[in-house]
Structure 1
Amino acid sequence: MNRSVSFWIDWSFLDWPNNRIKELIARRCDEMAGAGVNMSILFGAHFRWDFLPIMSRLHDLLAHIAEQHRLRGIRFFDHHSSVLTHRASTGAQREHIRCFNHHHLPFYPDPHFAAQMKYNGTYLNDWRMIDVDTGRPIFINTYQCEQYCMNNPDFRAGYHAYLRQLMKDVPLDGLMSDDGVYYPGWRACGCGHCREKFRAMFGRDLPPVSDSTFWFNRSNKAFIDWIDFRYASTSEFFGTVRQVVGSLPLMSCSSTSCSQVCNAHAISYEGFAPHADLSMLEICGVAIDADGDWTGRTLHRAMMQLAITRTTGLKGCLGMHYGFDPDMFELGWAINRLLGADTWLSTLKGRLNPKGPEADAMPEDQQLLGGYFNWEKANEHLFRGDADAQACVFFSRHTRDHFGRSYLDFENVYRQACCELFKANITFDVVYDVKEIKRYKVLVLPAATCMSARQREVFTDFLNDGGAAIVIGPAGLRDEFGQPAEEFFLRQGLHIEVEQPALPAGYQPSEDPYKLPGIECRGQFQSKPVKASEWIDFSFGKGKVWWTPAMDITNNTPRLASLVADVMPEGTEMHGLKNWQVRRYRTKNSQVLVALNANVTPTFSKKFTLGMGNPPIIEKLTYSQFAQSVKITSPRPLCDAKLFSPQLTEPVSGQISPDGKTATFIFPAIRTLLVVQLTFDDPAE
């Protein structure tokens, strides 16, 4: 299990070698070891190519940091961008970097000097991504930077040479190689290497942006090929990183693998996973809403990342949470424990505004940790099980990639399904590989418009064998490439139609999908119209189907969670906690229930905001509805029951009823997280 924090280097570290910096590094490592940290990840010197003039000195610093970690049994990962490089040329651009990306430790060269920079025998400027429209190097305003193209063979050779030098100079325990995606979005990349590679893979030339029959037209298979080409390029590039680093533990960055925004950047951890050891999900910005809810923005993304980790056999999934106070660090850790993820906790002072002595004096990452890392270390046996899920939500990558323009066309329906089941304390998995479907009793299909023939076959077999499927929206109307399907997935007198909305005036093809109107789905069952707020149901083989045309299920009656609960097998339940979130995990002869208090109110700072969008940071969390007693009911007889929490000095044993079907606990008040371990006489099936 990974218990991680960031190890920040700022401008003072560049005065290397320096005894004061050596003392600071030793003090940090001592504090990390004392707090139960077993892994730290570098932050700073992020746009690594900007440090070419002082690279050997930087590597000497990193080598000392790595050695100090090893002396204390802590793994040290380097973390840098493989492709981005700051290129500020005006005062306004430099001020933007200072305000919003100061944490990069932006040691960038002047543009006229950058034009002369070479590495591994070639000019860095010749590596740059090219705008498909203008034919010029792309400038990315978000970071005031340019990007090198992953398909450029000279860039690849240069980056591979750098990695070999890095590993020679620094005794690393792992590498996080970031940003090898299309950061500029759909504008990238029009360089000759990308055009030639696209032609070689698909036998097509990339049309000019004026060709509206191609660009953003998902009914044109040629544009689908362009989408798939870009995903293949990011995956292949990360695969070359694996070839260079060998057995060194490897991961990359990701803030989502389930949004239609992924298509613009060709980012999905499914592509990285075959070459990685760990996955990670960066929870960007302020991760909790004013009402205390964290699920709406985070849950569906986290569940997809966990699905990728499980399906591909990765060694762990790091949930990365930002915070500036002990409460947010504790909540980030507790969310990860609830979901079954490992933890990376980090500050982000370089994006705080206003800057100055007060921001600089905030505690370092390891100083914000409470006792929960050490508690987790002492109780790792509680967190080694798999999710005890009888239900799954299917994530349709074909739909994400090949259908629709709007967030409402797929991601929002998937998000709603995950959140509704989770808030009803129904333990479920997200599944994207149909080979896993048969292990579940209940299948939720949210807006899975695109299906391959193999997926249709598996879903049909699942129903014929007695499974229950709850289907939302246009299921299987298109094939895996977004083209009209020859055969509809659900027959039985059901007819579904989809209507694309008219585009808004002034629409740009790269318009933010979160701002576009969604599709409208309509249906008839046995020749009668089906209302958006209702479900119809019918038998399918030995199984049963519920279907609604709704693309927003928040007003449906009955609720999705009620339908799932009604067909779920009887299971263990936790009683006596009001508005606590619960997930269940299983081993051969035990079950673990993890519960998190959702009765939380954030207090937002009146002084500090966090770029880019400048939301106020959270400075405090206030909890209510503390837990003081819990009752567990189980269909299987219990032989032992214990309750654990980092807020208890020792575990509490439950009082088991004579029939073994109930365990009752009474304990001192618990504010945030509790874990119940149940042991059974009979092994699980």
Structure 2
Amino acid sequence: MNNSLATPWEERFGWFWYGSDVIYNWEEKDFLNAAKNFYDAGNTTAILFGTHFRFSYWAYWDDIEDTIAKITKAFHAYGIKVIEHHSTHLTYRIDNDAMKQSYLSSSFADKGFKNFLETSQANPVLGGSHMDDFGQIDGSTGEICLNSYIHTEGKDVHWVFKHYGGNAHCFNHPSFFKAYTEHLERIIKKANIDGIMNDDVQWFGAGNACTCQYCRELFYKETGYHLLDPENWSSFYENYNDPVYIAWKRFKKKSSGDFHRKLDAFYKELDFHPLRPAYCAEVLPFDTTCYGFESASELWNYIFQECCGLIKYSYVCFAIEAVHRYALASRRGVPSMALFYPATEDSTYCAWALARSWGQLYTGTMHSNTLSDKPYRAFEKKHAALYNNPLKISDLAFYFSEMTRDYTSPNAPQKYMKPFMSYMEAAYVSGLTSDMVFCRDSIEELSKHEVIIAPYIIMVGEDELEKLAQYVRLGGKLVIIGEFGTKKPDIQKRSINEAVSALGLTARLNEEVYHGKAEINYQGKSYRFNNVTSDGCVIPNGSEPILLGENGEILGVSEKIEQGEIIWLPCDIGNNDFQPAIWPQAKETDAYASVLPSLRENGGALLSLLVNQKHLTVLAGEDVIGTIYKVNGDYVVHLVNTIDMLPEEDCKVFKTDTIPQFLEGAKKLKAFPVQINMTEAKDIKAVKLYSPEFVGERSPDYTQNGKNLLINIPENLFSGYLLIHIVISNNESKN
């Protein structure tokens, strides 16, 4: 259907949960009432969530399909789009009887389905084969594997083994594809849905899958390599110096994307052109399941993140993932979005404010429907023009390398991605506005950014080095921090001196180890760091020394190259501290003490000193975080008050902990100035202030001097979130 929205940025996504009660007990009036409530809450699109591990509900597919049709009919009556969403291939199929009883009694399994314990463990013929025949095969055992995976958690980014409890199907298996697409076709034809989310599409078995007959044949066909047998698996698995293992990881990543592309072709054959949103919780630290989210990103209409942690204690980590989603979505010309799980009214407001400040749409879901997004949906609808396709104005951009994350080391999250994320967090909490560039970006895309930060970028191709060198020659500032370029995409080693030489840098690194204090002096500004470690000191060879150790050791240099500059700091500054997301537990959860002081004193101080200019300075204390965008020719600023959201010490926390500044009636902030360095010296027609916390608009005092604008935010105006609209004179765009 078409609900006649002017732009995709006006969609307001909500989630509709359904299970056996809805499927077997609801009448038409119940569906219509649910649709009305959904509409009244301000939503325009419903993402369905129910019977998620869809293949374990094979015995009830007819009932599920019919219910999706009933939901869609009712929601369409209110002009609401419907997106079907389920796990493509995860199951509850479990061999262990003790685990089976425990897992199937959990909240994930719906007891309202008759004989579910038996049917979910059955082995029916689907798509021409028994369902167990297309289970993913663990290369270390040769047997069907659990849908287990390894991810990272905590401030040290340590590995954690997790599993969903059952097994997962192989999406390279032709019988699986046939069975799955037959189910999809019935949904499409019965329900007239508007979109679909084919969730998961990952390789499990803790990274050891899949080595079924079809994967082995396809891997050989595409690479010329044979996968090893179980008896030789241990010498192969996680061997990042083995070209066959690297080829297998790349193959799995490509296969995930190819599956989504096969679905795209299948939909087109049905003349079905769905909305296809896609999300991923964490992209920056790891991709151990070779998820299809990145490799098929050209297919997604909305690119978003799943913010699984407790909002109050995880917002810093969420913020840097948002930088990635915004950048990836920008490349694809689609909106980015953030999904939160708020548990209270104040965390709903906080989550919405954070998402909008990150240039994203907001969507929130919770198992109960006791909370309402309605005030925020009404606010963003009223000010829709100020949220439409925001173009980020950034002080710097981070160079993100999927190859460094995926193909360099079994401990890449700890060695490389943790310091990378530390610098991103440091920028965010230090008031620097950040964007992201990718290794596949063109020189034109790179050159949109005055400063590019490349922290701990290990695997770099010759083509990348040339693009970065060209970026510098054309006037860009490239800041290299830590180890750089020491692996090629073919996994051959390269010295760091070879890498920087390819950029045009004349300085070289020796093997003189250093640990101690250091001082940086750059463009008349200086700062002293208490903890700097380096595996070598720099021989400048004509470059300008800018970071010096206690006895004059040269730890970093700056070199002008044609119109641009390279700053080379091949050392660790501080401990690369990291503020992790806190995943909720059933009751109380362990939260980590704030590392904001360390982030600001190390990475934040360094980056603040090196950027060419700050486009936005909020003088309300360090915890009022601002972002700035160009929207329809005007400037739009978002301010979010994050004060005291992180604890001073490690402690136990709850998902219902309040965020005081987002409570109704919270104490308002005192007056403070906001300084804006605009991209162009255009006359300001007006400055307008808006917030869900007050009705109408406010007009603050402001002064303009060319590109510089000073806005005085009055006292007692807001406590949580403020939207600032800077209207440019003679701007023909309507806002």
Quickly name the TM-score band, shorter chain normalised: 0.7 to 0.9
Matching of residue 482 in structure 1 with residue 491 in structure 2: yes
Aligned residue for 2:521?
A: none
Contact 2:90-2:147 within 8 A present in 1 as well: no
Aligned residue for 1:618?
A: 656
Aligned residue for 2:284?
A: 258
Q: More deviation in 664-673 or 415-424?
A: 664-673
Alpha-carbon shift at residue 233 of structure 1 (Å)? 0.7
Aligned residues: 629
Contact 1:392-1:431 within 8 A present in 2 as well: yes
Alpha-carbon shift at residue 471 of structure 1 (Å)? 1.5
Alpha-carbon shift at residue 78 of structure 1 (Å)? 0.9
The 1:571/1:625 distance shift into structure 2, 3 A limit, reads: farther
AA at the equivalent of 2:421: R
Secondary structure at the counterpart of residue 480 of structure 1: coil
C-alpha distance in 1, partners of 2:107/2:240? 36
AA at the equivalent of 2:712: T
Counterparts of residues 448-467 of structure 1 (less than 5 Å): 448-467=457-476
Counterparts of residues 473-622 of structure 1 (less than 5 Å): 473-485=482-494, 487-490=498-501, 491-495=505-509, 522-526=535-539, 536-542=556-562, 543-550=565-572, 552-553=575-576, 559-566=602-609, 567-569=611-613, 571-576=615-620, 579-587=623-631, 589-601=633-645, 616-622=654-660
The 1:88/1:195 distance shift into structure 2, 3 A limit, reads: closer
The 1:145/1:553 distance shift into structure 2, 3 A limit, reads: closer
Matching of residue 382 in structure 1 with residue 403 in structure 2: no
Q: More deviation in 158-167 or 441-450?
A: 158-167
Alpha-carbon shift at residue 330 of structure 1 (Å)? 1.7
AA at the equivalent of 2:284: C
Alpha-carbon shift at residue 300 of structure 1 (Å)? 2.4
C-alpha distance in 2, partners of 1:166/1:81? 15
Aligned residue for 1:119?
A: 126
AA at the equivalent of 2:361: D
C-alpha distance in 1, partners of 2:418/2:640? 24
Contact 1:427-1:583 within 8 A present in 2 as well: yes
Contact 2:616-2:626 within 8 A present in 1 as well: no
Alpha-carbon shift at residue 129 of structure 1 (Å)? 0.9
Aligned residue for 1:245?
A: 267
C-alpha distance in 1, partners of 2:305/2:110? 19
Alpha-carbon shift at residue 237 of structure 1 (Å)? 0.6
Contact 1:114-1:125 within 8 A present in 2 as well: no
The 1:569/1:374 distance shift into structure 2, 3 A limit, reads: same
Contact 2:634-2:725 within 8 A present in 1 as well: yes
The 1:335/1:481 distance shift into structure 2, 3 A limit, reads: farther
Secondary structure at the counterpart of residue 489 of structure 1: helix
**1:475-511 deviation line (CA, Å, top 9, x unaligned):** 1111123321373235423227799xxxxxxxxxxxx
Alpha-carbon shift at residue 123 of structure 1 (Å)? 1.9
Alpha-carbon shift at residue 655 of structure 1 (Å)? 2.2
Alpha-carbon shift at residue 419 of structure 1 (Å)? 0.8
AA at the equivalent of 1:405: P
Alpha-carbon shift at residue 456 of structure 1 (Å)? 0.4
Counterparts of residues 83-482 of structure 1 (less than 5 Å): 83-88=89-94, 90-99=97-106, 101-102=108-109, 109-110=116-117, 114-140=121-147, 142-209=163-230, 210-211=232-233, 213-246=235-268, 247-260=273-286, 262=287, 264-267=288-291, 269-289=293-313, 294-295=315-316, 297-313=317-333, 315-348=334-367, 363-364=368-369, 367-384=371-388, 385-406=390-411, 407-432=413-438, 433-435=440-442, 436-482=445-491
AA at the equivalent of 1:252: A
Structure 1 residue runs without a partner (length 5+): 349-362, 500-519, 604-613
The 1:481/1:335 distance shift into structure 2, 3 A limit, reads: farther
C-alpha distance in 1, partners of 2:323/2:112? 33
C-alpha distance in 1, partners of 2:614/2:120? 69
AA at the equivalent of 1:154: S
Alpha-carbon shift at residue 3 of structure 1 (Å)? 2.0
C-alpha distance in 2, partners of 1:190/1:107? 35
Alpha-carbon shift at residue 241 of structure 1 (Å)? 1.5
Aligned residue among 50, 57, 61 for 2:56? 50
C-alpha distance in 1, partners of 2:511/2:331? 33
Report the RMSD for the aligned CA atoms in angstroms: 3.1
C-alpha distance in 2, partners of 1:107/1:462? 63
The 1:576/1:256 distance shift into structure 2, 3 A limit, reads: closer
Q: More deviation in 556-565 or 667-676?
A: 556-565
**1:245-265 deviation line (CA, Å, top 9, x unaligned):** 2311113342122222x1x20
Structure 2 residue runs without a partner (length 5+): 1-8, 149-162, 514-532, 578-597
Alpha-carbon shift at residue 94 of structure 1 (Å)? 2.7
**1:123-152 deviation line (CA, Å, top 9, x unaligned):** 212111111122111133632211110111
The 1:557/1:336 distance shift into structure 2, 3 A limit, reads: closer
C-alpha distance in 2, partners of 1:577/1:333? 22
Secondary structure at the counterpart of residue 344 of structure 1: strand
C-alpha distance in 2, partners of 1:269/1:560? 30
The 1:198/1:492 distance shift into structure 2, 3 A limit, reads: same
Q: More deviation in 456-465 or 621-630?
A: 621-630
**1:506-562 deviation line (CA, Å, top 9, x unaligned):** xxxxxxxxxxxxxx9622201899869995122141413141411744569974334
Secondary structure at the counterpart of residue 135 of structure 1: coil
Aligned residue among 41, 44, 59 for 1:38? 44
Contact 1:471-1:547 within 8 A present in 2 as well: yes
C-alpha distance in 2, partners of 1:339/1:104? 40
The 1:557/1:146 distance shift into structure 2, 3 A limit, reads: closer
The 1:122/1:375 distance shift into structure 2, 3 A limit, reads: same
Contact 1:626-1:671 within 8 A present in 2 as well: yes
The 1:364/1:595 distance shift into structure 2, 3 A limit, reads: same
Secondary structure at the counterpart of residue 215 of structure 2: helix
The 1:600/1:244 distance shift into structure 2, 3 A limit, reads: farther
Matching of residue 639 in structure 1 with residue 685 in structure 2: yes
**1:18-55 deviation line (CA, Å, top 9, x unaligned):** 43xx4443333222212211112111111112222222
Contact 1:132-1:189 within 8 A present in 2 as well: yes
C-alpha distance in 2, partners of 1:145/1:493? 54
AA at the equivalent of 1:642: K
AA at the equivalent of 1:75: K
Contact 1:319-1:343 within 8 A present in 2 as well: yes
Alpha-carbon shift at residue 578 of structure 1 (Å)? 5.3
The 1:584/1:371 distance shift into structure 2, 3 A limit, reads: same
**1:174-193 deviation line (CA, Å, top 9, x unaligned):** 11111111133312111111
**1:582-609 deviation line (CA, Å, top 9, x unaligned):** 1110146321111111014489xxxxxx
Secondary structure at the counterpart of residue 371 of structure 1: helix
AA at the equivalent of 1:216: E
Contact 2:431-2:622 within 8 A present in 1 as well: no
Alpha-carbon shift at residue 449 of structure 1 (Å)? 0.8
Contact 2:56-2:119 within 8 A present in 1 as well: no
C-alpha distance in 2, partners of 1:602/1:70? 42
C-alpha distance in 2, partners of 1:426/1:129? 45
- Over the matched positions of the two proteins, sequence identity in percent amounts to 18
Aligned residue for 2:583?
A: none
Secondary structure at the counterpart of residue 536 of structure 2: strand
**1:216-257 deviation line (CA, Å, top 9, x unaligned):** 121222211011011011010111111222311113342122
C-alpha distance in 1, partners of 2:397/2:311? 25
C-alpha distance in 2, partners of 1:498/1:380? 57
C-alpha distance in 1, partners of 2:382/2:685? 23
AA at the equivalent of 2:623: N
Aligned residue among 720, 725, 733 for 1:672? 720
AA at the equivalent of 2:719: R
